[in-house]
Structure 1
């Protein structure tokens, strides 16, 4: 009798067979996890770091392929923003008198810097909107952290901006603005803008993944943002002297991220009475906008990681 009881006790200590378990218990027993499940935030950051070589290679490949069908090829990376600057110069600098009291040797660099820097943000947002919806084949075929795509596209736009900077240096020299120590301030300014652009691109990547029509709407939104950021004209002059608006409105417009990063780069590169000094709050705003959108945009994108490419 005792032997039988012992056998039953021993049998009771054995784990139940697989057939008696629920699917969740069976998966837990064999160490299985949900396919495509969202990793923790720290694991996600580790995965992105592990894909850093892919991110850089993908951004370079996209940059090379962008104008591969054009006869002038990569030269369009420089010609496109430069031609935009020329058109804005004709309209706002000559026809509409939007340069205020700035002399031509100050206004032309002011305008070119504004166009180049805003194009960096504009292109990052537009690339971000389509980064998921425009690469569904890649998203569905391979397993990788989806944030790699908007980050890659932001890096692609940074590389394109750096090509444009070559022409910008020529323009500055042509209008008697030569290198000084302040030019090194361009590096932190563009790094802050890169963080801001990447966060913004990730926000719109998530929105665009479910609403592809957003790519058709964003050019109008970005154009409005451009006119309100002082790309072609000094905001304080246009708001206060031309429109008769209050000072607080000019201050609010100057505090928007696009305007902040343009002013930081202009201060670093332009010699003139307008840019002899720059209030320190511009740097604080630049850092604040960069951290807010980089962190907030990353978390916002990560929260939908398991839904990209489905449905």
Structure 2
């Protein structure tokens, strides 16, 4: 299901949270040589540049919902959804570079309309299943998975003109180790499949990925990978805004990407939450590019 043409779409969005710098993530990934790396794998790479994100409304909370930067986040995601839709219509694999994780709202809005049963792998330390009612912060980057399920503010859930984008039974979360109480309740209520770090430690990454691939293959017609770099342990990926100790290793993450590549189920992907200001010599962007490369077929032999 991999396409031999790739559309790279940058989204310099830092409005879904409060720490500056993650808007420079797409530039850091490009600096780390993403186009050259993928071209070396015989892909035709089309770098579509960056979605224009308004910054003038920064830190403004919606008076009714208390969601920070609601209008600006929604506007940016509408544009992203259209761009991703265009890429798929052009028979290209959409590779979205973040930006904070709120951009998954737009990515999924653009992807999901092309599939009857889109699957989602959420590779992340967090569930991102909060709503305005359950969020401790009002930061939208903690809400994109809930929004894509149709749960949340209608300005966000209706991006792309339809709702929901994904069914709960078509989601697998991998690497979770920081969940708010409201997220735990929603996971149990909706029956979302989650491999916390406990399961990764207990089963091993090979078993986790085998089960994930088997689970999604039998029920979906395409799978989107949403990879937050804070899913990795901070030692491997220090340049993230919300690091959580005890995460997935560099090698476990490569194995996961390699197994997804072999499975041939991934039809779109995004890599998010790289903050160069918090990074060490662009280490996290380098890791992201290496993982993209493994996902898209790079092997040692």
Shorter-chain TM-score: which interval? under 0.3
Structure with greater strand percent: 2
Between structure 1 and structure 2, the one with the greater Rg is 1
TM-score, with normalisation over the residues of structure 1? 0.27
Larger RCO (CA under 8 A, 6+ residues apart) = 1
> Hey, which of these two has a bigger chunk of helix by percent?
1
